[in-house]
Amino acid sequence: MTTFPEYIAQNEERDGVRFSWNVWPSSRLEATRMVVPVAALFTPLKERTDLPPIQYEPVLCSRATCRAVLNPLCQVDYRAKLWACNFCYQRNQFPPSYAGISEVNQPAELLPLFSTIEYVVQRGPQMPLVFLYVVDTCMEDEDLQALKESLQMSLSLLPPTALVGLITFGRMVQVHELGCEGISKSYVFRGTKDLNAKQLQEMLGLTKPSAAQGRGGIPHCEFSCRFLQPVQKIDMNLTDLLGELQRDPWPVTQGKRPLRSLGVAMSIAVGLLECTFPNTGARIMTFIGGPATQGPGMVVGDELKTPIRSWHDIEKDNTKFMKKATKHYESLANRASSNGHIIDIYACALDQTGLLEMKCCTNYTGGYMVMADSFNTSLFKQTFQRVFTKDVQGSFKMAFAATLEIKTSREIKVSGAIGPCVSLNAKGPCVSENEIGTGGTCQWKVCGLDPSTTLALYFEVVNQHNAPIPQGGRGAIQFVTQYQHSSGQRRIRVTTTARNWADAQTQIQSIAASFDQEAAAILMARLAVYRAETEEGPDVLRWLDRQLIRLFMFHLRRSPFLQVFNNSPDESSYYRHHFNRQDLTQALIMIQPVLYAYSFNGPPEPVLLDSSSILPDRILLMDTFFQILIYHGETVAQWRKAGYQDMPEYENFKHLLQAPVDDAQELLHTRFPMPRYIDTEHGGSQARFLLSKVNPSQTHNNMYTWGQESGAPILTDDVSLQVFMDHLKKLAVSSAA
């Protein structure tokens, strides 16, 4: 028997699932006493290079309320050609194509190896991939130029059959007709007036073919051609068009922000896809250089003298536009997600751009939110390029218009999900009445998926205390993910997992041993962030303090996911966005950054995220997920300044300097979005990023008492981990009452 850590790793590797508990308490009462609910982090598209897609369709349980997929946990009567659903116990006939089934001739889905299996749906047309660029033109020429180049580059990364479209906006919104000879055409819309899909359809002249569609029922391609065309056809044309793209020509007077019709532009993008490619995978990629300043969705007026809202304003309820704008983007997000369209936001500006208001656009649709200072940074360029990363088969590592459905055994129900998804409001026998996150449903729409997209799913044990589960009983959960593969195929991935039940009174040790501390931490953190997003801040901290207890929560309390101090509303939204979609490893890094130390004293080693780790003769490499920071200690910095690294006799110093840089590069190359890369030294202004993360074990308050032999004091009033832990212990003991 493997140890639990091995078991957990194995399960994660195979199914992309990590449960908070790997042995489940068998009754509701016991489960609630566990504080941390039975929950799972599920990565639907967990990369499985060893998983060949199966070229037929899954066999479903015939019970209408169940429809679970045949899986290795099902009992099969090979002679009678029957199988019993392990969720509802319905006995089902195998379909005729399974006539040859026998114990030695089992279909793949019955092999325990394939607890996760992927089917390719053969029916239906090949869906095109649709990429709609929505480009802000209110930016500095330098930025715009960089953006244009990135966009042009991206065209070469798209498969030739992918459809692309272009919407540009500034004061007006322009929908470009592609592939026009001799003249470039665009449809222009006022940036202050929202249009519903029908109006838009009329104004873009997309109405007529609907009659034809009624007749033939065939593709939209024919009429959408004007605005969304295959890359291969309009490659040159679009490249030229992008090349000719000018900064928004409307004059911006002194003391004003440019008028940016972001809200309408996005609305038009959503509307355009809505009426041309409903329920087809599509990405709306929005590139913005500043906040929306007019029309629906505006987040700040055009007067420069009134700054964009801060947390302070939000707390004071002093935000003129926030509620309305949020509502606008929320409705857009809902429209997009119900049609399976992804909205990405690439916001590059020094100031805030309104991500707070727009966050649902990405969060509901599984889109990317990328925040950078300028389009002319490698942060943006690399990140954007990485969106189009391909797997070994040469397909994009992205999937579209997915739905995730959950089937559970009778003893357990699903309470909700937290992640980049929206509810499909599918009621069913496995839906719990207790909602956690997006609940009340057993199906969620995840418009955009990539291999690291991870949802947190929360379950509720509903088995009553007085109805014990027989020894050896297992609870099963099936995850059914239907999605559009980037090759255009419709695919279904089915993951079926099962865990043992245990009576908490008799087998408490085994339950305790099965606790997955990391998963639980992230699951609770997601919950906390979810609550922080939806409720008032301080309450969440109190709730968290009441609920949880461990080192980890110390950092979570201080993290930007919960703390808004020192972060703009946009930054908070940005951090939370990524926290809510990344997988466990990444999420852990986000909460508790990793700190490596490089010195002459030995090989690089991970060190405590503590101020005591900051030593003069060390180089530190900190990875906070969003930032990769190299910090040269005081002495090292002086050496470097003196130029020792350039002297042949100090080559080892050169290597020392190089080592963290190489490691950082490695991280930079794999991570999405690309982190901000910071190279700083003792006393450097950017060292603040490090200082704000480490545990302030030495502060100006206690440094003299602790002596100065090691570490660097942090000037903060925050409590240190030591204080926090002391306090917690006291609480833990006293609150027993």
Partner 1 sequence: MSQQGYVAAPPYSQAQPGMGAYQGGFGSGPTQPLYGHYGGPPQAFSAPPAGMMKSSVAPAASMPLPAGSSQYNPNVQQNGSHPQSYPAPPAVSAPYGQPPHSLYNSMASPGPPPTQQLTNQMSSMNLGSHGKFSMCSFYFLVQGLQSPPPPASSVMPPGLQSPHMSPLMSPPQSPPESMPMASQSMAGTSMAGMGRPFPGPPPPGPGGFQQPGLGSAGQPGYPQQAGQFGGYMAGPQQNMPGAFPGAQSAMAGPPQKKLDPDSIPSITHVIEDDQVKQGGQVFTTNIRGQVPPLVTTDFTVTDQGNASPRFIRCTTYSLPCTADLAKQCQVPLAAIIKPFASLPKNETPLYVVNHGDTGPVRCNRCKAYMCPYMQFIDGGRRYQCGFCNCVNEVPVFYFQHLDHMGRRVDFYERPELSLGSYEFVATLDYCKNNKPPNPPAYIFMIDVSYNNIKSGLVKLICDELKTLLEKLPREEGMETSAIKVGFVTYNKVLHFYNVKSALAQPQMMVVSDTAEMFVPLLDGFLVNYQDSRAVIYNLLDQIPDMFADTAESETVFAPVIQAGVEAFKAAECSGKLFIFQSSMPTAEAPGKLKNRDDKKLVNTDKEKTLFQPQKGVYEQLSKDCVASGCCVDLFLFPSQYTDIATMADVPSHTGGSVYKYSNFQIETDGEHFLRDLRKDVQKSIGFDAIMRVRTSTGFRATDFFGGIYMNNTTDVEMAAVDCDNGVTVEFKHDDTLSEETGALMQCALLYTTIGGQRRLRIHNLSLNCSSQLSELYKSCETDSLINFFAKSAYRAILNQPLKNVREILVNQTAHMLACYRKNCASPSAASQLILPDAMKVFPVYMNSLMKTAPLVGSTELSTDDRAHQRLSVMAMGVEDTQLLLYPRLIPLHNIDVNSEKPATPVRCSEERLTDSGIFLLENGQSMFLWLGQASSPDLIQSLFNLPSLAHLQGHMCALPELDNPLSRKVRSIISGLLEKRSNSMKLQIVRQKDKPEMLFRQFLVEDKGLHGGASYMDFLCYVHREIRQLLT
**List of residues contacting partner 1 (CB under 8 A):** 172, 174, 177, 180, 182-190, 193, 195, 202-205, 244, 246, 249-251
Within 8 A by CB and 6+ apart from 197, the residues are: 271, 274, 275, 335
Amino acid at 160: P
Closest Cα to residue 272, out of 358, 192, 177?
Answer: 177
Q: Residue 268 class from Cβ within 10 Å (0-12 exposed, 13-18 middle, 19+ buried)?
A: buried
77-to-82, 90, 101, 143, 574 alpha-carbon distances in Å:
5, 13, 10, 66, 52
Nearest distance from C-beta of residue 177 to partner 1, angstroms: 8
Cβ proximity to partner 1: between 263 and 416 the closer is 263
Cβ proximity to partner 1: between 34 and 270 the closer is 270
CA 385, CA 133: separation in Å to the nearest integer? 14
Q: Where are the alpha helices (DSSP H) in 563-702?
A: 569-579, 584-591, 634-642, 651-670, 688-693
Nearest distance from C-beta of residue 218 to partner 1, angstroms: 23
48-to-15, 114, 118, 489, 519 alpha-carbon distances in Å:
9, 11, 10, 17, 21
Cβ proximity to partner 1: between 190 and 550 the closer is 190
Nearest distance from C-beta of residue 632 to partner 1, angstroms: 49
Residue pair 227/175 in contact by the 8 Å Cβ criterion: yes
Nearest distance from C-beta of residue 486 to partner 1, angstroms: 33
Cβ proximity to partner 1: between 135 and 355 the closer is 135
Closest Cα to residue 403, out of 339, 354, 498?
Answer: 339
The token pair at 371 is: 């925040």
Nearest distance from C-beta of residue 183 to partner 1, angstroms: 5
CA 400, CA 398: separation in Å to the nearest integer? 7
Nearest distance from C-beta of residue 295 to partner 1, angstroms: 12
Tokens 């005729």 belong to 96
The token pair at 490 is: 């419709």
Cβ proximity to partner 1: between 182 and 394 the closer is 182
Nearest distance from C-beta of residue 171 to partner 1, angstroms: 9
Cβ proximity to partner 1: between 164 and 204 the closer is 204
Cβ proximity to partner 1: between 225 and 426 the closer is 225
Cβ proximity to partner 1: between 174 and 403 the closer is 174
In a 13 Å sphere around the CA of 691, the CA atoms on its Cβ side amount to 20
Nearest distance from C-beta of residue 422 to partner 1, angstroms: 31
Nearest distance from C-beta of residue 244 to partner 1, angstroms: 7
Question: Which residues sit opposite 347 in a β-bridge?
Answer: 288, 371
CA 353, CA 698: separation in Å to the nearest integer? 37
Cβ proximity to partner 1: between 182 and 707 the closer is 182
Cβ proximity to partner 1: between 152 and 568 the closer is 152
Nearest distance from C-beta of residue 187 to partner 1, angstroms: 4
Torsion on CA atoms 586, 592, 593, 595, rounded to nearest 10: -120
Nearest distance from C-beta of residue 250 to partner 1, angstroms: 6
CA 391, CA 53: separation in Å to the nearest integer? 14
Cβ proximity to partner 1: between 248 and 681 the closer is 248
Helix (H) or strand (E) holding 388: none
Cβ proximity to partner 1: between 204 and 597 the closer is 204
Nearest distance from C-beta of residue 165 to partner 1, angstroms: 15
CA 405, CA 523: separation in Å to the nearest integer? 19
Cβ proximity to partner 1: between 138 and 172 the closer is 172
Cβ proximity to partner 1: between 176 and 490 the closer is 176
Question: What is residue 247's DSSP assignment?
Answer: -
Closest Cα to residue 568, out of 355, 397, 723?
Answer: 355
Cβ proximity to partner 1: between 250 and 600 the closer is 250
Nearest distance from C-beta of residue 274 to partner 1, angstroms: 17
The token pair at 280 is: 């087809």
Cβ proximity to partner 1: between 45 and 173 the closer is 173
Q: How many other C-beta atoms lie within 10 A of the C-beta of residue 481?
A: 23
CA 673, CA 690: separation in Å to the nearest integer? 20
Nearest distance from C-beta of residue 213 to partner 1, angstroms: 19
Length of the chain: 737
Nearest distance from C-beta of residue 686 to partner 1, angstroms: 40
Amino acid at 274: E
Exposure string for 700-735, b = 16+ CB within 10 A, e = fewer: eeebeeeeeeebbbbeeebbbbeebeeebeeeeeee
CA 587, CA 581: separation in Å to the nearest integer? 9
Within 8 A by CB and 6+ apart from 129, the residues are: 158, 159, 161, 162, 163, 281, 282, 283, 396, 400, 486, 488
Q: What is the C-alpha R_g of the chain?
A: 27
Nearest distance from C-beta of residue 207 to partner 1, angstroms: 11
Q: What angle do CA 517, 533, 484 make, to 5 degrees?
A: 75
The token pair at 626 is: 């969003």
